[in-house]
Amino acid sequence: MTEQTSSYCQVGSFAVGNRLVDPHLRTVQSDRLRPNALTSGHRACQGCGEALGARFVLDAAMAATDRQLIVVNATGCLEVFSTPYPETAWQVAWMHSLFGNTAAVATGVAAALKVRGDTATRVIAQAGDGGTVDIGFGCLSGMFERNDDVLFVCYDNQAYMNTGVQRSASTPAAARTATTEARGREPGNAFGQGKNLPALAVAHEIPYVATASVAYLHDLEAKVGRAMELHGARYLHVLVPCPLGWGAASRDTIRLARLACETGLFPLFEAAHGEILSATPIRHREPVEAYLRPQRRFAHLFADPPRTDDIARIQAIADRNIGRFDLLGERAGKGSR
């Protein structure tokens, strides 16, 4: 195995595996013996945030459950690139049924385990944003409401990437997709639409709701770990950039995932039983322009003339998040971290 040098600045950061810190502080991903739920050789695009997110989440869950895990997967990129018959990239008991029924299938799996007294094996359902906020929402809400013993993970890349980048209810305002073209007086996706699924999950008053990002591995793994300590319906919403759909460089996946948080557009928080428990403060606040500019889906905002009005509206969305979750620690007292 070739040795790889780590630059000093990575130590203590939340970005990589922290091979230099104390073993008990290291991430699951930094362990060469990690479960590797989603192994190499699958057919995801270069820089796919969803492939990264799924491996991070499932490896952490397998570590937390001593590998006693069953995963139910919605139709979507993750399913297609991982299981082209007769191959599979999954090293975990895995099932795909349909696009919209993932939460209900997971309920069935959990019921089958419960009825035979298997308390060790845990169940994760996973879907993209389409399979969560749109077509899968009915079954998901039912699973939440019944408090079934399932962790549902949404890998949110903010559009239907598998079918060629069409708008979902998770597509952000102004973003260009194949069904919200960057043309006309209001280019891109409309403002004032969309579904805030983490908030809807909180409204179900389930035992645990969290948002996470592939840019913050420690945070993501810690949230998976907490979710697996609990029983009942749990929800984790992970932002996963899509180089193809966002029109971004493959190498920028982690950078964009971090910028989404640092601008305030994607707040990281945890909630339990309907109450927000904590939010992760922004360490280096960035203007939304820093996040929008590298993405071709927002290129029309920076054309000639630029859409400064739309950029301001997006900044207002970020500012509102910062206020709502106190992401700059203004209410909690400055410099909490």
Partner 1 sequence: MLRQIEGSRAVAEAVALCRPRVVSAYPISPQTHIIEGVGSLVKSGRLKPCEFINVESEFAAMSVSIGAAATGARAYTATSGPGLLDMAEAVFNASGLGLPIVMTVANRAVGAPINIGNDHSDAMALRDSGWIQLFAETNQHAVDLHIQAFRLAERLSVPVMVCMDGFILTHSVERVEIPTQEQVDRYLRPFAPQQVLDPAAPVSIGAMVGPEAFTEVRYLAHARLLEALVCIPELAAEFERVVGRPSGGLVSAYRSEDAETIVVALGSVVGTVKDVVDQMREEGLKIGVVAVTTFRPFPEQALGQALEGAHRVVVIEKAFAVGGRGVLGAQVDALVSDRGTKTYTVVAGLGGRSIPEASLRRVLGEAIRGELGAMSFLDLDRVVVDRELARMAEDPRRAPSTARVPRDVRENAARIV
Given the rule CB under 8 A, which residues bind partner 1?
67-70, 72-73, 79-80, 83-88, 90-98, 100-101, 104-117, 121, 138-139, 141-142, 145-146
Task: For partner 1, give the closer residue by CB, 150 or 301.
Answer: 150
Task: For partner 1, give the closer residue by CB, 149 or 310.
Answer: 149
Instruction: Please say whether the beta carbons of 207 and 234 come within 8 A.
Output: yes
Give me the phi and psi of 288, to 5 degrees please. Answer: -60, -25
Least gap, CB of 138 to partner 1 (angstroms): 6
Q: 132: helix, coil or strand? A: helix
Q: Is the dihedral of CA 62, 67, 73, 78 positive or negative?
A: positive
Least gap, CB of 15 to partner 1 (angstroms): 30
Axis-axis angle for helices 49-64, 253-262 (nearest 10): 80
Least gap, CB of 95 to partner 1 (angstroms): 4
Least gap, CB of 28 to partner 1 (angstroms): 17
Least gap, CB of 10 to partner 1 (angstroms): 33
- CA angle at 309 for the pair 308 and 314, rounded to the nearest 5°: 95
Task: For partner 1, give the closer residue by CB, 106 or 292.
Answer: 106
How far is 106 from 139, CA to CA, in rounded Å? 10
Least gap, CB of 85 to partner 1 (angstroms): 4
Instruction: Please say whether the beta carbons of 244 and 226 come within 8 A.
Output: no
Task: For partner 1, give the closer residue by CB, 79 or 310.
Answer: 79
Beta bridge partners of 72: 95, 125
How far is 188 from 175, CA to CA, in rounded Å? 5
CA-to-CA separations, 30 to 4, 153, 221, 235, in angstroms, rounded: 13, 22, 12, 25
Task: For partner 1, give the closer residue by CB, 113 or 212.
Answer: 113
Task: For partner 1, give the closer residue by CB, 110 or 327.
Answer: 110
Residues 282-295 as b or e (16 or more Cβ within 10 Å = b): beeebbbbebbebb
How far is 111 from 233, CA to CA, in rounded Å? 13
Least gap, CB of 21 to partner 1 (angstroms): 30
Q: Which two tokens stand for residue 7?
A: 């630059």
Task: For partner 1, give the closer residue by CB, 83 or 278.
Answer: 83
Instruction: Please say whether the beta carbons of 175 and 191 come within 8 A.
Output: no
Is the bond preceding 86 in cis, omega lying within 30 degrees of 0? yes
Q: Which two tokens stand for residue 284?
A: 């280096």
Least gap, CB of 137 to partner 1 (angstroms): 10
